[in-house]
A = this chain, B = another copy of it.
Amino acid sequence: MKIGTTHLFVPGPTVVPEVVRRAMNVPMEDHRAPDFPDFVLEILSDLRCVFRLRTGRVLLYPGSGTAAWEASITNCLERGDRVLMSRFGHFSHLWADMARRLGLDVVCHDVPWGEGVPVETYERELRADPSIKAVFVTHNETSTGVASDVRAVRRAMDAAGSDALLFVDGVSSIGSVDFRQEDWGVDLAVAGSQKGFMLPAGLAILGVSERAVEAAERTATERCFFSFRDMITANDVGYFPYTPPTPLLHGLRASLDRLLDEGMDDVAARHRRLGHGVRQGVQAWGLDLCATAPRWHSDTVTAVRLPTDVDGAALCRNAYHRYRTSFGGGLGKVAGKVFRIGHLGDVNEVSCLTALAAAEMALLDAGAAIDPGAGVAAAQQYFRQALADEKGGEPVIRT
């Protein structure tokens, strides 16, 4: 029997804020009603503030992040197009796999899991091969907790004189950490509703630059469900080409209000603080991160390498059944070797302590030689100081 709250620390779906949850509790409505466009157009406009797009558009498809991957590829590229990718985790592997299956000519660099996009290699490739039509970057590899430097990739592309399209998987970064589609020259930015947007899964969210729109116009392959053209034509008058999931749109309205009220800079600052606090905890346990260097540290998900005699899958099952706590297990190459703590979306400092406290019990049950409470204590110390600094005060409050 399930008693008490399930403590959810998978790196998505993330906790839905109460205000968003309430907003989704709506009766059905006519998606062709005369005033429906007022509602839609404002959402589409505000979405650009989250992607930091001054030009271009954000498109919404019923679907998951995978759908957004597919929509970006099938609209802007054609079978046989040469693309540059790199693999260093489960999701970058899947993306490359999709690209191959969809007929692209994939130049793929395998990088050790725990590192991110190899910017220098990319630059070298681009100089060597001007036929490359698109460059792919997994901004935040959710399976290893590794962040990559998107801006640097665009700079490398510029340095190499490439006019390829820049595709970014921002599923677990957009809406949480710093992401600037326009400034960084990203052409296709893939997101999903169930991470930084703090909604249930069900919306593929795609930031599309003007260049990408133009590329889609030129592309001969016919798409239907994912067609940019059909979507843009309908969006332009405030509708969708097929029935949209209206509760998710209402939730998205609330989520956008919440993000923009906090401010995208403050959202990113908060995730930096939470990520750092969790990493302090892991360090105090004496365990390693999957991310092999600070430059790769993700502020939305922490993948912890387990001692060799600890089985990560069993650890997660035990945490789930005994402590009603959901952690992310290892995926792909690191299955069983890591467990992951998600700290993105509607999360605060005490939520992160909860994750660490539950993880400590699960680690100890699994036989890891950590000091009980040590991770919690390290994070407490960091959070107390960080929040005091933020408010310009002292951690110790004397009345």
Contact = CB atoms under 8 A, between A and B. Distances in A.
Interface stretch (A108-116, A157-165, A207-215, A366-374): A366-374
Interface stretch (A51-59, A120-128, A147-155, A242-250): A242-250
Given A4-B348, A396-B364, A399-B314, A222 B101 contact: yes
A383 interface: yes
Given A21-B25, A22-B22, A222-B103, A3 B348 contact: yes
Interface in A47-84: 61-67, 69-70
Nearest to A263: B1
Interface in A6-51: 6-8, 10, 12-18, 21-34
Candidate in A202, A262, A378 with the most chain B CB atoms within 10 angstroms: A202
A371 B5 CA distance: 28
How many A residues touch the partner, as a band? Answer: 35 or more
A283 interface: no
Nearest to A23: B22
Interface in A354-393: 354, 356-358, 360-361, 364-367, 371-378, 380-381, 383-384, 387-388, 391
A311 to B, nearest CB: 5
B373 A242 contact: no
Interface stretch (A129-137, A295-303, A316-324): A316-324
A395 interface: yes
Given A67-B62, A318-B397, A365-B395, A357 B354 contact: yes
A300 B15 CA distance: 27
A62 B65 contact: no
B347 A4 contact: yes
A178 interface: no
Contacts of A241: 66
A398 B14 contact: no
A383 B247 CA distance: 32
State how many copies of this chain the complex holds: 4
Contacts of A70: 224-225
Nearest to A28: B13
Candidate in A29, A62, A325 with the most chain B CB atoms within 10 angstroms: A62
B1 A67 contact: no
Contacts of A318: 397
Given A225-B70, A377-B372, A397-B366, A323 B311 contact: no
A201 interface: yes
B346 A245 contact: no
A398 B346 contact: no
A329 B32 CA distance: 9
Contact of A62 (B202, B311, B347, B371): B202
Contacts of A27: 6, 8, 15-16, 18, 21
Nearest to A314: B399
B8 A30 contact: yes
A325 B354 contact: no
Given A63-B63, A323-B348, 19 more contacts: A4-B350, A4-B351, A5-B348, A6-B27, A7-B351, A10-B30, A10-B32, A28-B200, A34-B317, A62-B62, A64-B242, A67-B225, A102-B224, A200-B246, A202-B202, A245-B245, A361-B380, A365-B397, A373-B373
Interface of A: 1, 3-8, 10, 12-18, 21-34, 61-67, 69-70, 98, 101-103, 192, 194, 200-202, 204, 222-225, 241-248, 261-262, 270, 311, 314, 317-318, 320-326, 328-329, 346-351, 353-354, 356-358, 360-361, 364-367, 371-378, 380-381, 383-384, 387-388, 391, 395-399
The 5 closest A-B pairs by CB, nearest first: A373-B377, A4-B348, A373-B373, A202-B245, A372-B377
